[in-house]
Structure 1
């Protein structure tokens, strides 16, 4: 990181002379156009090329180093982004596991309710079976009593018939 700071400082420091040279070149061109050549000494093309090469040679290693550092940072950022996405997916998975746990606890609650309902239904079935048996016994008892009453009436009627005076047969 310190090399980047040094590079930035050296680029900023180098930017001022480059701008000065560009301004000088622009002003020399403008001076030539305007006839103000006597204010600035003429600069040869060879000198400009040599200054340019020297400037490039001076700043190129730092710029290349900065480029490599930026590429490394970019690669590290990509790795961090992938790691972050994996962590996010893990959190989502944890949330889904919590949802699944909630569903299981809810399912357990409903299962208990179903078991209780089944017990109640079995109990009600037993009670209805007992009531049906009892009702059948009562019905049979009532039918028996009715039959006995009818037989009793028949006996009474028979007795009354026997008790009624019968005219004697004439012979």
Structure 2
């Protein structure tokens, strides 16, 4: 892995190791700096998770001026980077794989739920349309009943009118 940079920011050595930013802490002994520790925050998706990876860089940063932008003398071995990467992957990969499996199951369950919901919605629409059809049938029957009653009343009036007409006196025919 390449792209390792080190610079000083606010009295703390900042490290960019590949695409991961971190900082270096120098532990002091009476004899001077004896251990440089690197701390790297790891970002997963939108959630910020901090995992402190400590390793000895094996270099004395006190020789470098704090005003220097990029520290020339710092070298990080590829083996250390590889070991850190493997350690990081072995730490997070099982959880990420379980999360991936859980997300796949959730997605599958959502698909099943959506299908079930669509079926229920279609059943609801069908029942609702049946209610509408039943209401229309009822209204049609009531209308037919009223029309039949109106027709019967009209026929009754005609019969009464004919009967009254027959009851009225008619002049007799002369023979």
Structure-2-length-normalised TM-score: 0.55
Q: How many residue pairs get matched?
A: 121
Aligned pairs for 1:91-110 (under 5 A) are: 91-110=124-143
Indicate yes or no: 2:52 matched with 1:17.
yes
- Structure 2 unaligned regions, length at least 5: 1-43
Aligned pairs for 1:38-117 (under 5 A) are: 42-117=75-150
Structure number with higher relative contact order (C-alpha < 8 Å, ≥ 6 residues apart): 1
Shift of 1:94: 2.1
Shift of 1:131: 4.0
Q: Distance in 2 between matches of 1:70 and 1:77?
A: 10
Aligned twin of 1:138: 170
- Structure 1 unaligned regions, length at least 5: 1-7, 148-171
Q: Distance in 1 between matches of 2:71 and 2:97?
A: 42
Structure whose residues are more often strand by fraction = 2
Q: Distance in 1 between matches of 2:115 and 2:88?
A: 40
Bigger mean CA deviation after superposition, 51-60 or 66-75: 51-60
* Cα deviations by residue, 1:18-63 (Å, 9 ceiling, x for unpaired): 6x89xx9xxx9xx8863474xxx74211111121122112321221
Backbone CA RMSD of aligned residues = 3.4
Shift of 1:12: 5.9
Which secondary structure does the structure 1 equivalent of 2:51 belong to? helix
Indicate yes or no: 2:70 matched with 1:34.
yes
Asked which structure has the greater CA Rg, the reply is: 1
